[in-house]
Amino acid sequence: MSNLEWDAKAFYEANEGDRVGLLALDEGHWAVCWAYADPHCGMQMISFAPEEAQHVFGTSRRGAEERAGLRYDSRQEWQGSSL
């Protein structure tokens, strides 16, 4: 049995506290994971094809930027490895 690990491709945290990650397991299996802040306090992970996952993550990040701004954005923190 192989050891499976998700590779974090991108991540952001909105000023309101929600955290969202773009993850890849392999070339055909990607996911977007949302961890919602209070009052929702839940987590949701949805699997997508790679291109669709990148689109969904990008759309979610743009929405968070417009609503409340970002507290953390991997585009500024990860040198050359984040989408």
Instruction: Tell me the DSSP string of the chain.
Output: -PPP-PEEEEEEEETTS-EEEEEEEETTEEEEEEEPPTTT--EEEEEE-HHHHHHHHHHHHHHHHHHT-EEEEHHHHSSS---
Q: In this structure, is residue 80 part of a structural domain? A: no
Half-sphere exposure of 28 (CA within 13 A, CB side): 0
- Please give the tally of structural domains in the chain: 1
Q: What is the model's pTM? A: 0.83
Q: In this structure, is residue 67 part of a structural domain? A: yes
Which residues span the domain enclosing 68?
Answer: 7-74
Q: In this structure, is residue 2 part of a structural domain? A: no
Q: In this structure, is residue 32 part of a structural domain? A: yes
Q: In this structure, is residue 39 part of a structural domain? A: yes
Q: In this structure, is residue 81 part of a structural domain? A: no
Q: Which two tokens stand for residue 35?
A: 């961890």
pLDDT digits (tens, 9 = 90+) for 27-78: 778 999 999 998 888 999 999 999 999 999 999 999 999 999 999 999 876 5
